[in-house]
């Protein structure tokens, strides 16, 4: 991955192939800490400068959605995690396209098993990880 520079806060990681996570909020920093310390998580990354995007159409315009975190769980399955405090019509549209992407990838069968979830509260990440148990 290419080097890039930021003035935003960064937290050190242990379970990510990228040694620092650039955080956009205290909430994301808290979630990064949980992901790095959860036994349910074998690897994770903040989806920043990775090129992982879901195309979606909103009000007739094709846009790019970049979910916040990509997680490999201890059972080998993958979880796409979005951090979202308030929900808008645009967010609901993004999730419809994300759901379609996940269903398509899972139906293909060649890229492992994927799921997605939305964190709506800084304290819900552990519950989300436990709910993904296969």
- Which structure tokens are listed for 125? 């990440």
DSSP label at residue 59: T
Residue 7: is it exposed, middle or buried by C-beta count within 10 angstroms (0-12/13-18/19+)? exposed
pLDDT interval class at 2 (50, 70, 90): low
Extents of the domains making up the chain = 10-131
Q: Domain 10-131 falls in which CATH fold?
A: Trna Endonuclease; Chain: A, domain 1 (3.40.1350)
Q: pLDDT tens across 58-97, in order?
A: 999 999 999 999 999 999 999 999 998 788 999 999 999 9
- pLDDT of amino acid 84: 85
């Amino acid at each position: 991955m290419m080097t890039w520079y930021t003035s935003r806060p960064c937290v050190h990681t242990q379970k990510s192939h990228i040694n620092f996570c650039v955080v956009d909020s205290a909430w994301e920093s808290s979630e990064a800490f949980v992901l790095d310390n959860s036994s349910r998580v074998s690897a994770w990354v903040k989806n920043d400068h990775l090129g992982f995007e879901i195309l979606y159409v909103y009000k007739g315009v094709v846009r790019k959605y970049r979910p916040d975190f990509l997680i490999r769980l201890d059972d080998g399955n993958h979880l796409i995690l979005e951090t979202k405090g308030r929900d808008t019509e645009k967010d609901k549209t993004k999730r419809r396209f994300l759901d379609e992407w996940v269903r398509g990838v899972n139906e293909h069968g060649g890229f492992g098993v994927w799921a997605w979830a939305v964190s709506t509260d800084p304290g819900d990440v552990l519950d989300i990880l436990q709910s993904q148990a296969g």
